[in-house]
Amino acid sequence: MHETFMRRAISLAERGRGHTAPNPLVGAVLVRDGKIIGEGFHAFYGGLHAERAALEDCFQRGLSPAGASLYVTLEPCCHTGKQPPCTEAILAADIRAVFVGSSDPNPLVAGKGIAALRQGGIAVTEHVSESACDALNAPFFHHIRTGLPFVLLKYAMTLDGKTACASGASRWITGEAAREEVHRTRAAVGAVMVGINTVLQDDPLLTCRIPGGRNPLRVVCDSGLRTPLDSALVKTAAEVPTLLACCVSDTARHEAYLAAGCEVLTFPGRRVDLRALLTSLGARGINEVLVEGGAELGWALLSAGLVQRVQAYIAPKLFGGKNAPSALGGTGVPYPIDAFALKNMHIRSFGADVRIEGDL
Ligand code: AOF
Ligand code: ZN
Residues 246 and 121 grouped into a single domain: no
Tell me whether the omega of the peptide bond preceding residue 299 falls within 30 degrees of 0, making it cis: no
Q: Is the domain of 130 the same as that of 157?
A: no
Dihedral angle computed from the Cα positions of residues 176, 181, 182 and 184, in that order, rounded to the nearest 10 degrees: 130
DSSP state of 149: P
Consult the annotation and say whether 206 binds a ligand.
yes
| Same domain assignment for residues 201 and 329 | yes
Tens-of-pLDDT digits for all 360 residues of the chain?
A: 999 999 999 999 999 998 998 899 999 999 999 999 999 999 999 999 999 999 999 999 999 999 999 999 999 999 998 999 999 999 999 999 999 999 999 888 888 999 999 999 999 999 999 999 999 999 999 999 999 999 999 999 999 999 999 998 888 899 999 999 999 999 999 999 999 999 999 999 999 988 888 999 999 999 999 999 999 999 999 999 999 999 999 999 999 999 999 999 999 999 999 999 999 999 999 999 999 989 999 999 999 999 999 999 999 999 999 999 999 999 999 999 999 999 999 999 999 999 999 999
Choosing from 142, 177, 205, the residue where a domain stops is: 142
What ipTM is given for this predicted complex?
Answer: 0.88
Instruction: State the DSSP string of 224-266.
Output: T----TTSHHHHTTTTS-EEEEE----GGGGHHHHHHT-EEEE
**Judgement on whether residues 64 and 207 belong to the same structural domain of the protein:** no
- The answer on 96 and 44 residing in a single domain is yes
Q: Atom 10 (ligand 1): residue with closest C-alpha? A: 81
Final residue in a domain of this structure, among 116, 142, 168: 142
CATH code of the domain in which 52 resides: 3.40.140.10
Contact (Cβ atoms closer than 8 angstroms) between residue 220 and residue 194: yes
> Which residues are within 8 A (CB) of 211 and not within 5 positions of it... i.e. 6 or more apart?
none
pLDDT at 212: 83
Nearest to 178 by CA among 14, 344, 352, 309: 352
DSSP letter, residue 15 = T
Q: How far apart are CA 52 and CA 67, in angstroms?
A: 16
Give the sheet arrangement for strand 123-125, strand by strand: 35-41, 27-32, 69-74, 97-102, 123-125
Regarding whether 138 and 151 lie in a shared domain, the answer is no
Residue nearest atom 14 in ligand 1 by C-alpha distance: 23
pLDDT of residue 177: 97
Residues with a catalytic annotation lie at 51
Q: Ligand 1: residues whose CB is within 6 Å?
A: 20, 23-24, 26, 42, 46, 49-50, 74, 77, 81-83, 86, 104, 106, 109
- 232 assigned binding-site residue: no
Q: Is 320 annotated as a binding residue?
A: no
137 and 97, same structural domain? yes
**In angstroms, rounded to a whole number, what is the distance separating the alpha carbons of residues 87 and 82?**
15
Residues 244, 268, single domain; the answer is yes
| CB neighbour burial string for 278-299, b if at least 16 within 10 angstroms, e if fewer | beebbeeebbbbbbbbbbbbbb
Q: Residue 300, annotated ligand binder?
A: yes
Question: What DSSP line would sit under 163-215, residue for residue?
Answer: SS-TTS--S-SS-HHHHHHHHHHHHHSSEEEEEHHHHHHH-------STT--P
Same domain, 308 and 205: yes
Q: Best mutation site among 48, 83, 287 for ligand 1, i.e. most ligand atoms within 8 A of its Cβ?
A: 83
- What residues are neighbours of ligand 2 (ion), with CB under 5 Å? 49, 77, 86
* Residue-level pLDDT at 89: 96
Q: Are residues 169 and 217 in the same domain?
A: yes
Task: In whole angstroms, give the CA distance from residue 300 to residue 303.
Answer: 5
Q: For residues 360 and 115, what is the distance between their CA atoms, to the nearest angstrom?
A: 33
Among 109, 116, 65, 59, CA closest to 87: 116
Q: Which of 142, 160, 190 is the last residue of a domain?
A: 142
17: buried, middle or exposed (CB in 10 Å: 19+, 13-18, 0-12)?
middle
Tally of domains in the chain: 2
Query: How much is the pLDDT for 169?
Result: 87
Is the same domain home to 99 and 122? Answer: yes
Question: Which ligand ends up closest to the CA of 86?
Answer: 2
We report the CATH number of the domain holding residue 329 as 3.40.430.10
Q: What's the gap in Å between 105 CA and the centre of ligand 2?
A: 13
Cα–Cα distance for residue pair 248/144, rounded to 1 Å: 31
Domain that holds residue 133: 2-142
Q: Is 121 exposed, middle or buried (0-12, 13-18, 19+ CB in 10 A)?
A: exposed
CA–CA separation, 123 and 311 (whole Å): 41
Residue nearest to atom 18 of ligand 1 (CA): 77
The pTM of the full predicted model, rounded to 2 decimals, is: 0.92
CA distance 268 to 272: 7
Shared domain for 169 and 131, answered yes or no, is no
d(CA 85, CA 253): 48
